[in-house]
Amino acid sequence: MVRDPVCLMALDPRSAKAVAEYEGRTYYFCSEQCKTKFLDRPETFLDKAPGMRLTVGVMGSAGNDQLSDAKEMAYVLGQTIAKRGFVLITGACPGLPYECARGATDSGGLSVGISPALSLDEHVHKYHSPSDNFDVIIYTGSGLMGREVTNIRSSDMVIILGGRSGTLGEFAIAYDEGKLIGVLEGSGGITSKIPDIVASFGDKNTGAQVIYDADPRQLIARLAQVYTTEHYKHPSCFCHTTANPRNH
């Protein structure tokens, strides 16, 4: 349960009548009227019922052979996530996710890495992954494929940035679990193929929504808008007792 910061009513997040995002945190309301009161004077209500920070998972190529344009897009994406007050989640790997983590760190944001390793030593020496530009590294010991599920499930929104087969796997998990997914167009890799991949799914309905944009700033703004107006009601297809299992 969560609490409406205006009237202090306890709510099931999925049954909330309205949601607002303020300084990177989400607040749930029993009515549009309470939401309006909050947005008119948020400082009055912030200490009544603390909001949770929204998390953005960025999944992309861990290779170091990326074009400079894609690296710049990743860096700006990290900056945008940080400035919005969201928490960045990546696989704590090199490549485009690391560039995103650099951008978030340089802008004073919170960066969380989900490592495939058992420890820092294994993270650095076995997986040859960076340990800087992360405020927290979570060691799953699950290996490269296993940690993908943790990445996705820990993210309120997932962004696909470049990438190859590993990133495609992360996209598939996010889609099947009904996540809100952003695709950063023009970042290379599988991003240009995703519309055709989604079309090939036919009428399979998991509740996932896919948003495409070539501008990192606009993509984050659009994802936040969709999440707070509708997608917060659908955190995962596995949370829905009314979901049709034939669609999964």
Q: What are the pLDDT digits (tens) for 44-96?
A: 999 998 888 999 999 999 987 777 899 999 999 999 999 999 999 999 999 99
pLDDT (0 to 100) of residue 94: 95
Nearest to 198 by CA among 242, 230, 160, 225: 160
Which phi and psi angles does 138 have, rounded to 5°?
-100, 120
Q: Strand, helix or coil at 230?
A: coil
- What the chain holds in terms of domains, given with CATH numbers, is 2-52 (no CATH), 54-233 (3.40.50.450)
pLDDT of residue 236 exceeding 80? no
Q: At CA 191, angle to CA 237 and CA 74, rounded to 5?
A: 100
pLDDT of residue 131 exceeding 70? yes
Please give the Cα distance from 96 to 73 (Å, whole number): 9
pLDDT (0 to 100) of residue 233: 82
Q: What tens digit of pLDDT does each residue of 169-193 get? A: 999 999 999 999 999 999 999 999 9
Residue 161 structure tokens: 């940035």
By mean pLDDT, which of 22-31, 64-73, 79-88, 138-147 is the weakest? 64-73
From its phi and psi, is residue 213 left (phi > 0), alpha (psi between -120 and 50) or beta? Answer: beta
pLDDT (0 to 100) of residue 235: 64
Calculate mean pLDDT across residues 27-46: 95
pLDDT band at 248 (very low <50, low <70, confident <90, very high): very low
pLDDT of residue 138 exceeding 60? yes
Please give the Cα distance from 126 to 149 (Å, whole number): 21
Calculate mean pLDDT across residues 132-142: 96
What's the whole-model pTM score?
0.90
pLDDT band at 242 (very low <50, low <70, confident <90, very high): very low
pLDDT (0 to 100) of residue 246: 35
pLDDT of residue 205 exceeding 70? yes
